Amino acid sequence: MMIVWGCLTMVTAATHNPQSIMAIRFFQALAESSTFVGTHYILGAWYNERELGKRSGIFTASGLAGTLFGGLLQTIIHSSMDGLQGLAGWRWLFIVDGLMCVPVALYGFLLFPDTPQTTQVPYLSEAERELARSRVPRHVQRAPFNWTFVKRVFGSWYWYGFVMLWIIAGETESFSSNSLLALYMKAHPERKYSVSQLNNYPTGVPAVGIVSTLFWATLTDFLGGKRYLVGYWIGITGIITSAMILAPSATTASTFAAYYWAGSVYACTLSYYLRSSRSTNVSFRSSNVLCLGERCSSIRRRQPSCCRHRINERWFWRD
């Protein structure tokens, strides 16, 4: 799936209109939707409740690091490759991003550990595999993937409830995932920001998200897995930062501060993913996985660092 994702990323460099981008994004979503949910499922198979938060937080923070790196990469490519071989810089960005996916995909294919019950990776001895199996009890509830299973999932309230939950959760992250700070900068009534500034300044939002994710991951592990505490922080942050941005007396400095603070809501992914990975209810887990995958692919713009891109429309369609 990662190879497909990378190929579709590179194909984006050949597009000439928004409709083509939308079509590619549709198929790209099928490939990328398995990344976060699959990894968190694997993490949940290897670590217990008091260990899982920090490990999951590190993985989630790596996605934010990709967003941060993507802004800096875009600046570098724009300044050094724009016009190279007759291609606009944004086209080179997609090509470079897609090529970066290949070694990551090969690593995953050869060395990703699967679950303790099925792992065949060469770097684990049989004793280590047995230790892993004994540390995290295996889920005994299983269901085959068939029509009965599909009806059970879509016939439960979990599916419909979590669809709404993930839509709301996606909006709490929209400060960063929808590049709202960049849009604010482009529409600023008094200041005109350069392309480099439009790419670099918003990277502070995922930087705050990295710190917040790791902080809440460590804290909730220390408190015995009380992930719901993250929800309180998200609610408080969303209300206050929205008020700061919408206030008639808001200044450029206070608006920037609000957007940067709002980046801390990325910690919500930690709580939601871990809830899903630890549940033993088949319908609950399956509905969560389906909704998480949908949210990964359609609501968020977030991608792993190998396929990260955030395009500045000032030079997006210029050939």
What DSSP assignment string belongs to 161-219?
Answer: HHHHHHHHHHHHTHHHHTTHHHHHHHT-SS----HHHHHHGGGHHHHHHHHHHHHHHHH
pLDDT per residue as tens digits for the range 146-161: 888 788 878 888 888 8
Spatial distance between the Cα atoms of 175 and 238, rounded to a whole number of angstroms: 10
Domain assignment present for residue 176? The answer is yes
Report pLDDT for 278. 53
**CA angle in degrees (0–180, nearest 5) for 284-290-293:** 130
CA-based nearest residue to 269, from 159, 166, 176, 181: 166
pLDDT per residue as tens digits for the range 200-212: 898 899 899 899 9
| Tokens, residue 244 | 């700061």
Domain assignment present for residue 319? The answer is no
Top pLDDT among 180 and 301 is at 180
DSSP character string of 33-55: HHHHHHHHHHHHHHS-HHHHHHH
CA-based nearest residue to 173, from 67, 308, 79: 67
| Tokens, residue 127 | 């004793």
Q: Which domain holds residue 221?
A: 2-134+154-307
Domain assignment present for residue 313? The answer is no
Domain assignment present for residue 239? The answer is yes
Domain assignment present for residue 158? The answer is yes
% of the chain residues with pLDDT over 90: 13
Report pLDDT for 317. 40
3-state class (DSSP) for residue 308: coil
Domain assignment present for residue 312? The answer is no
Q: How many residues are given for the chain? A: 319
Report pLDDT for 284. 45
Top pLDDT among 253 and 101 is at 253
Domain assignment present for residue 192? The answer is yes
Domain assignment present for residue 145? The answer is no
pLDDT per residue as tens digits for the range 20-29: 989 998 888 8
Domain total for the chain? 1
Report pLDDT for 4. 87
Could you tell me the pLDDT band of residue 249, with boundaries at 50, 70 and 90? very high
Could you tell me the pLDDT band of residue 3, with boundaries at 50, 70 and 90? confident
pLDDT per residue as tens digits for the range 79-135: 888 888 888 888 898 898 888 888 888 888 888 888 888 888 999 999 998 898 888
